[in-house]
Amino acid sequence: MINAQIAQINNEYYESEPIDLILADESAKYYSDPYGWVLWAFDWGVGALEGFEGPDEWQKNILIEIGNQIKSRNFNGVDPVDPVLLAVASGHGIGKSALSAWLILFIMSTRPFSKGVVTSNTGDQLKTKTMGELAKWHTLCITGRWFEKTTMSISHKAYSDTWRVDALTSREEASESFAGLHAADSTPWYLFDEASAIPEKIWEVAQGGLTDGEPMHFAFGNPTRNDGSFHECFNRQSHRWITQHIDSRTAKMTNKKYINELIADYGLDSDRVRVRVLGRFPKGGDMQFMPSDVVFAAMKKGSGRYLGDDPLICGVDMARGGDDNCMIQFRRGFDAMSEKVYRIPGEKSRDSMKVVSLLTMIFDRHKPDVVFMDKGSMGGPIGDRMRQLGYPVVDVGFGENADDERIYKSRTAEMGARCKQWLMDGGSICDDYQLEKELTSRDFGHNDKDQLVLEKKKEMKKRLGVSPDWADALYLTFAFPVAKLEQPRGDYDKLPGNRDINLDYNPLD
């Protein structure tokens, strides 16, 4: 619904007081700008907010992202739009309750007849933290005069039954209270605080209430569990949710002395620090092939872990077009982070000659001793052409038989096992959440022959919403054993197509 329409509706509600007409007009201007509304609605730097200029940087970024999502949906007040889904996993003490209060007041002030439900893991958390923080910001808010605040609700003074937010306990037996909010011409929405501990039944019922109007669902919390719907927001459902991990060390209001003591006592890769400080989920479950703690440690080791005779090995996972990417990963010894990682987007990989040209430039720059290339789809013909040009390309089929068929069902399982052992032995990889997610989200099992079986790529993509292209490129660097170098690496300057060209337009940032 456009701003002018909101202002017109608000004006009808606030006829009695001229100041309310002005506030309604001004508030309507921020319909799709929650960050601008927060700056406008509170008297920053004065009184209780003395010394505060506005939201912390992480809060600002989230408010701006929500605004972008609202703009992209362009709700017209009649036709329902896709829900805005936002999940934030964080350490302790970063200011989640303040952000929750701002969102409640923003939606209430810009969306007549909106209906919301706020819940938390315990009644005490709901009353003292979530709603307690709302009470504080309600008194400071320029539009606070419109609303009546009680211990467990906030509602419009003139329309208390149809324009309100209720705080409900998350007891599973009370799940029906979370059913459809029926705000087809406005915003029905949910806010889950300490979302890891919210029962699955509550998540399920709330999902059914996101079909009308301009729905929204915000989930905030410490990532205390390695399963459940909150965890799935960052994994199997990550293609539907906007997700953020907030490190407590980067937030202004956190107790840095306490944080440093936690890290000193337990270590940066401990579950206690991962959950309470880094905003990361704890270590992996029983079906997780690549342990989270192993991957996390590998991301923190740093580069340069190789010897002079270690060959430079390249893995190329070929794209199938569409939303898949062609990924190029290098590894030398225990170092898989010093060389640049490249992504060729799916829409650019349909032209095999363009892929050949890009790979030629990349190989000329990095001069790998061997390239293990996925031969599936268009990889076979591209590999043939690269060998014609003189590059050391070896075809690899993910589904082909493993070298040791007694233990591994396929080449994929064998490469994955080698990669896992390499990480456990001290391998270092890029500190990037996308790679972490791809490596740690793959499940495994054993067949009736007791062979190791890894989850298929298409099944993993179905769960995650994205293809594990980067992880597969790293797997490919373990396709076959590569001997130590006996002499200096070959002269690539004589290979065809060599040129000094800037490839910075397509790296994986």
In the chain, domain spans: 3-250, 312-494
Tally of CA atoms within 13 A in the half-sphere of 508 that contains its CB: 23
pLDDT score at 21: 84
| pLDDT at 72 > cutoff 60 | yes
- For residue 328, give the H/E element and its range: strand 325-332
Average pLDDT over residues 153-165: 94
Report the C-alpha gap between 402 and 413 in whole angstroms: 8
Report the C-alpha gap between 68 and 55 in whole angstroms: 17
Asked if the domains at 3-250 and 312-494 fall in one CATH topology, the answer is: no
pLDDT mean across residues, the chain: 87
Average pLDDT over residues 404-416: 94
pLDDT score at 4: 54
Instruction: Identify the band that residue 505 occupies on the pLDDT scale cut at 50, 70 and 90.
Output: very low
pLDDT score at 348: 78
Q: Identify the CATH assignment for 312-494 out of 3.40.50.970, 3.30.420.240, 3.40.50.740, 2.60.120.650.
A: 3.30.420.240
Fold of 3-250: Rossmann fold (3.40.50)
Tens digit of each residue's pLDDT (9 = 90 or more) over 163-172: 999 999 887 6
Report the C-alpha gap between 299 and 293 in whole angstroms: 10
Taken in order 396, 397, 401, 406, is the CA torsion positive or negative?
positive
Tens digit of each residue's pLDDT (9 = 90 or more) over 238-285: 889 999 999 999 999 999 999 999 899 888 878 778 888 999 988 765
| pLDDT at 185 > cutoff 50 | yes
pLDDT score at 11: 58
Percent of the chain with pLDDT over 90: 58
pLDDT score at 66: 98
- Structure pTM? 0.64
What is the phi/psi pair of residue 444, to 5°? Answer: -145, 170
Contact by Cβ (8 Å): 245, 292: no
Tally of CA atoms within 13 A in the half-sphere of 361 that contains its CB: 16
Note the maximum CA span of the chain.
89
Contact by Cβ (8 Å): 415, 401: no
pLDDT score at 218: 98
Take residue 237 and report the two structure tokens written for it: 């459902």
| pLDDT at 421 > cutoff 90 | yes
Tens digit of each residue's pLDDT (9 = 90 or more) over 422-478: 999 999 999 887 898 889 888 888 888 889 999 888 888 776 666 789 999 999 999
